[in-house]
Structure 1
C-alpha cells in the first residue's frame, strides 16, 4: 500500500477540486492518505511569488477555469462571496481537529459551496461548533504546528497546492492526479530517467529581480 501526503490550503480552488476528485481518480488502487494543511501564502513569500489572485488577468482566468473544471468533472462549486480570503482560521481549525478526510471535506465545502463568505465570523463559529476541535484553534500550540508543517513542506520542495507526495515525488496541481495514478499503477515512464532528467535541465537565462 502506498502512502500519499496531500498538502492543502482551503484558499485554493484547485486544492478543493483535487480533494473532491481524489477518490475517483485513484479508484481501485491500494493507498492511504494523510492530509496536511499548509499556508500557501508562506510558499509564495518563500519563493518570492505573487499569488494567482494578485495578478488581475490571471485572477479572472483562474475563476473561469476552476468553474469550468468543476462543471466538466461534475463537482459542485460556487465561488465564495470574496476571494482571496484569509484562510488561517480554517487551517488552524483543521489542525486543531486533526486533519482527516471528514474534517477537510467539511471545511472545503464551507469555503467552496453555497457562495457565502468563507471568513464570516458567524459561519466560522458554526463550523467550529460542528467539528468540535480537540484543541483550541487559537492556541499557540496549533499556530506553531501549522507554521512548522508549512516550513517542512517548503523544505521538501513544495511551492504550491494542491500537492500530493508519494515516495518523495511531488505531484502538483489538479491535473497531476493523472500522472499520480500512473505512478501508483507502475507506469514504466517513471523508471526511465525522465523524472530525474527534468530536474537536471540547465537554465539558459535568469531574470533579475
Structure 2
C-alpha cells in the first residue's frame, strides 16, 4: 500500500507550485493527497500576516521564489498581480476532481504561464485552459464550497500555519525547502533523536507584549 501524505496548499503560494513541480522526484510508494486550503483563513486563525502583506518581505519573497525556480530549473512567471483572490481557483481544483494532475494544471496556468485568475475573464480563461469550461458554474456548487471549508478547517485543527505543508502521521513539514526534511523523517527516526527531542521542547524564554 502506498504511504499517503496530505499536501495542504493554496494556489496563491509560489512555493506550493515549486514543491508540486518536484513531486515526480519523490520515492516510489508515496501517494500525495492534495488538500486545497484558504491561506488567509489560516493566517487569520494564527494571528499572522502573509509575506506579501509586509512591504520589504514582499519583494524578498518574490525574488526568492524566482531564485528557487531558476535554481531548480522550473519554468516560472509571476502572475500580473499578487497577492490575488485565489478562492475560485482553489474551488476549481476540487470541482475538477481534486487529482494531482488537475491541481498541477491550475498551478501551471498561474505560476508557469503567469496568468491572472482573479478577474472574471481570467478565471474563465483558466477553466478553458484546464479543459473544464463548466468550472465557471461548478465552483459555485455548495458541495465544492463546503469541501474547501472542510480542508481549511482540517488544516487548522492539525496545526497547519502556512503553505505548502506536508502532513504525515501527525507531523507537519512546512515550506518547499522542507521537502528534504520530510523525506529524511520518512526514511529514518531522525525526529526521535536526542537533540531533535530537546529542541522540540525548549522552554519559552521571553514573550512579546
**Fold match, TM over 0.5?**
yes
Cα distance change of structure 1 residues 11 and 29 upon mapping to structure 2, 3 Å threshold:
same
Partner of 2:81: 82
Supply the RMSD in Å over aligned alpha carbons.
Answer: 1.7
1:119: Cα distance to partner? 1.7
Partner of 2:126: 127
1:197: Cα distance to partner? 3.6
Provide the rounded CA distance (Å) in 1 between the counterparts of 2:88 and 2:56: 28
Partner of 1:11: 12
Cα distance change of structure 1 residues 168 and 193 upon mapping to structure 2, 3 Å threshold:
farther
TM-score by length of 1: 0.91
SS in 1 for 2:208: coil
Q: Structure 1 stretches of 5 or more lacking a match?
A: none
Provide the rounded CA distance (Å) in 2 between the counterparts of 1:82 and 1:123: 12
Instruction: Decide whether the 8 Å contact of 1:81 with 1:118 is kept in 2.
Output: no
Provide the rounded CA distance (Å) in 1 between the counterparts of 2:100 and 2:180: 21
Instruction: Please identify, of 70-79 and 147-156, the stretch whose mean Cα deviation from structure 2 is larger.
Output: 147-156
SS in 2 for 1:5: strand
TM-score by length of 2: 0.91
Find the partner of 1:137 among 139, 144, 153.
139
Partner of 1:172: 174
Provide the rounded CA distance (Å) in 1 between the counterparts of 2:152 and 2:104: 20
Q: For 1:87-98, list aligned pairs within 5 A.
A: 87-98=86-97
Provide the rounded CA distance (Å) in 1 between the counterparts of 2:86 and 2:114: 16
Provide the rounded CA distance (Å) in 1 between the counterparts of 2:122 and 2:49: 28
SS in 2 for 1:111: helix
Provide the rounded CA distance (Å) in 2 between the counterparts of 1:105 and 1:48: 30
Cα distance change of structure 1 residues 22 and 195 upon mapping to structure 2, 3 Å threshold:
farther
Partner of 1:37: 36
Instruction: Please identify, of 39-48 and 192-201, the stretch whose mean Cα deviation from structure 2 is larger.
Output: 192-201
